[in-house]
Amino acid sequence: MWPCLLLLFSCGEQNPNAIDLDLNRPFITRVVPGDKKITVEFVAQNREYGFDGYNIYIAEDKTRVREQIVLSPTLVKPTLKADATTSVVTYTFTIEHNVTYYRSYTAGTVGNISIFNGVGYNIWVAAYRAQPEKESTYDLNLVSVVYPRPEFLSYTALNTTGLSFPDAVGRITFSNAGGAFCVIETNGGGVQDMGYASSLTGIVTAPTNGYSSAPCILHAGHLYGIVTSTGVYAKLFVRSVSGTFDSAVIDYCYQPTANVTSY
């Protein structure tokens, strides 16, 4: 056990700024998968001497997450500059395929990052001080995993059509039976109405239960969860439903990797 207090005895000038403080650790609150991109949302409070901002690390292998850092647009650390603050602040950073830069410490390379749909990426955020260089303490529990997925925006669904996720095994069918525009999963999976949302990313973790094989009425502004018999999770957001219930404009996405609830 560390002692509660450390006494420093020195003769000469005492520089309190040279004393090495631990940096408070940021917490990831939400990681939003996109189409070949990832948006990291985290909260933090830091005002340690020399505090510079936050470094975001990304890796497919959770145990090697510290080996590849996301770089700022000017290719330097920290990933995200930030000011010292006494209150908790929410930060957002988006990592995008072929746009965002990274540095690999193992390969010694710098370049555009590759983000593939259906692949799991582990994300860790560290508070950072440049001089002398230091980061907040690493903890495996602070690493979040996210799976980017393809998405299709403003798709017009007709009452005579359907969609497959990602193949014919999982399929949904639209209909307008009974004076409403409905969706039904027709091959052993299910649908559920997850309620009012502002967009397709209102919910980013699929519920693993609660799906029904019955037709589900589509309401404008609602988000719907879908699971296929093979464990593929999909969701759709209803932008509008036509007054005659023969079409609806939807945004939808599915997670290509089965049994992964990140979407």
Partner 1 sequence: MRLFLIFSFAVIAGLGCSDNPLAIIDDYNTPSDVRSAPSNAAIVIDFLSANDAVDFLGFNVYISSTSNMTDARVISNGASLPTFAYLAHTYSNIRLVITNDASVRPLTNGYTYYVAVSAYGTNNYLTRLFQQGYGGNQGGVIELMPTALSAAMPRREGVIVFSNNTFNASADDGIRYTQGAQTNCALFDDAGANEAAATADFYCSYTNIPGPGLVPYAVCGANNPNSFQMQSLGFQNDFYAMAQMPAGGYTAAGTHYICASNHMYALYSPNSGGTYVKIWVTSITVGARVTVTARWAAVVGSSKL
Binding residues for partner 1, rule: CB under 8 A, are: 1-16, 18-22, 24-25, 27, 29, 43-45, 47-48, 86-88, 137, 139, 141-142, 192-197, 207, 209-210, 212-217, 219, 221-222, 225
Q: Of the two residues 15 and 106, which places its CB atom closer to partner 1 in the complex? A: 15
In the complex, minimum distance from the CB of residue 208 to partner 1, in angstroms, rounded to a whole number: 8
Q: Of the two residues 113 and 172, which places its CB atom closer to partner 1 in the complex? A: 172
In the complex, minimum distance from the CB of residue 49 to partner 1, in angstroms, rounded to a whole number: 8
Between the alpha carbon of residue 114 and those of residues 13, 64, 100, 148, 258, the distances in Å are: 50, 17, 9, 11, 21
In the complex, minimum distance from the CB of residue 115 to partner 1, in angstroms, rounded to a whole number: 25
Name the strands in the sheet holding 182-185, side by side, starting at the edge strand that comes first in the sequence.
Answer: 162-164, 171-175, 182-185, 216-217
Q: In this structure, are residues 56 and 48 in contact, taking their beta carbons and an 8 Å threshold?
A: no
DSSP 160: T
CA angle in degrees (0–180, nearest 5) for 220-32-64? 160
Indicate left, alpha or beta for 207 from its phi (over 0: left) and psi (-120 to 50: alpha): beta
Measured in residues, the chain has a length of 263
In the complex, minimum distance from the CB of residue 166 to partner 1, in angstroms, rounded to a whole number: 23
C-alpha to C-alpha distance for 39 and 213, rounded to whole angstroms: 33
Q: In this structure, are residues 57 and 93 in contact, taking their beta carbons and an 8 Å threshold?
A: no
Through-space distance between the first and last CA atoms of the chain, rounded to whole angstroms: 42
In the complex, minimum distance from the CB of residue 225 to partner 1, in angstroms, rounded to a whole number: 6
In the complex, minimum distance from the CB of residue 69 to partner 1, in angstroms, rounded to a whole number: 21
Q: Of the two residues 67 and 193, which places its CB atom closer to partner 1 in the complex? A: 193
In the complex, minimum distance from the CB of residue 171 to partner 1, in angstroms, rounded to a whole number: 14
Q: Of the two residues 44 and 157, which places its CB atom closer to partner 1 in the complex? A: 44
Give residues with Cβ within 8 angstroms of 12, minimum separation 6: none
Q: Of the two residues 14 and 106, which places its CB atom closer to partner 1 in the complex? A: 14
Between the alpha carbon of residue 18 and those of residues 79, 132, 133, 227, the distances in Å are: 24, 9, 12, 56
Q: Of the two residues 73 and 132, which places its CB atom closer to partner 1 in the complex? A: 132
Q: Of the two residues 6 and 168, which places its CB atom closer to partner 1 in the complex? A: 6
Quick one: how far is CA 197 from the chain centroid? 17
Question: Radius of gyration over alpha carbons of the chain, in Å?
Answer: 23
